[in-house]
Amino acid sequence: MDILTFRKIKQGTYECELNLNALYKDETELEKFNKKWIAFLNSDHWNKKVFKRDGNTIKYSHKSWVPEKNDNRIPILIVAGNPAPQSTSEDVYYAFETNGSEHRFWKILRKLGFIDLPFDLKLMKSTFFDLDYVSPFRIGIDVTFTFPSSASAQSWSGVQGLQKLFGVKALEKIFLSEKVRIQKLVTGFFKDNIVTIIAVQKDAYNMFAKNTYSLNKAVIGKLSSIYDLEGRDFRIYGAPPTRWMYTTKMQSALLQIKKDILNKKTGKNKLSK
């Protein structure tokens, strides 16, 4: 019995099903989860729009912004920790800030020349998947954990919120299912033998890298892991978390990563490990 399964609905959209009976073999652990579940569910009004629970099965959707189209631009996969429920509901990564304004993620990527998308939820996704944007890169976006958690309810936010909800051991089991999903995604997105990933969260970095995430190195754009895996050139870059997007350190780090990727493509330099 699988703990977590994924069923493709259409390009970029999957239905996820989490089996709590498979996740928790101990009835006591399941009871602990159920007690926390109510508080988690009520922590953000978007949660009730995203999750559907039927007994010990929880269903939710996942957006995988990994375009099936291809072109001659350098492919980059940006991997975050997990989505916010409003982004899952709107089917757009980093849909908007709490006050409804454009999310800092898209503002800063536009400013730094990574990608320029319109701030229109109806147009963003189609523009992204059609590759109809200005950028030296063909970009994909996904997450380490598909299970959403609030960006505003501090006690339940991010991957730490998932650890609090599920428990560390249970989340490690979920991680194994997610890792298989991500590995398939990488194989499909990168058509040549060069894989370039930017991780904007420590679990995302540690999923791929041969070394361990270091925030001190990430803030200066010097966190990377470059190695050969079955004939494929893997290049993993670690960046600070997205909540840092407005900071000078984060923007400088992303510019350094961008420079390294472009120079690596042209053979101008080799990034130190």
3 state SS of 27? helix
Q: What is the pLDDT of residues 27-43, one digit of tens each?
A: 999 999 999 999 999 99
Q: What percent of the chain has pLDDT over 70?
A: 97
Q: Closest Cα partner for 174 from 98, 268, 60, 256?
A: 60
pLDDT greater at residue 270 or residue 199: 199
The Cα 154–Cα 116 span in angstroms is 30
3 state SS of 120? coil
pLDDT at residue number 268:
52
From residue 57, alpha-carbon distances to 19, 36, 54 in Å are 5, 16, 5
The reported pTM is 0.92
Q: What is the pLDDT of residues 182-224, one digit of tens each?
A: 988 888 899 888 999 999 999 999 999 999 999 999 998 899 9
pLDDT at residue number 232:
87
Give the ranges where 51-113 is alpha helix by DSSP (H): 85-90, 104-111
3 state SS of 177? helix
Categorize the per-residue pLDDT at 266 as very low, low, confident or very high, splitting at 50, 70 and 90.
low
- For the residues 248-265, what does the mean pLDDT come to? 91
pLDDT at residue number 96:
85
Radius of gyration of the chain measured on its C-alpha atoms: 18
Q: What is the pLDDT of residues 101-156, one digit of tens each?
A: 889 999 999 999 999 999 888 899 999 999 999 999 999 999 999 999 988 777 89
pLDDT at residue number 265:
66
The Cα 199–Cα 206 span in angstroms is 9
pLDDT at residue number 101:
87
pLDDT, the chain, mean: 91
Instruction: Sketch the domain layout of the chain as residue ranges.
Output: 4-62, 65-266
Strand arrangement, sheet containing 224-229: 137-143, 74-80, 194-199, 232-238, 224-229
pLDDT at residue number 99:
83
Q: What is the pLDDT of residues 59-70, one digit of tens each?
A: 999 999 999 999
Which CATH code, of 3.10.129.10, 3.40.470.10, 3.40.50.300, 3.60.20.40, is assigned to 65-266? 3.40.470.10
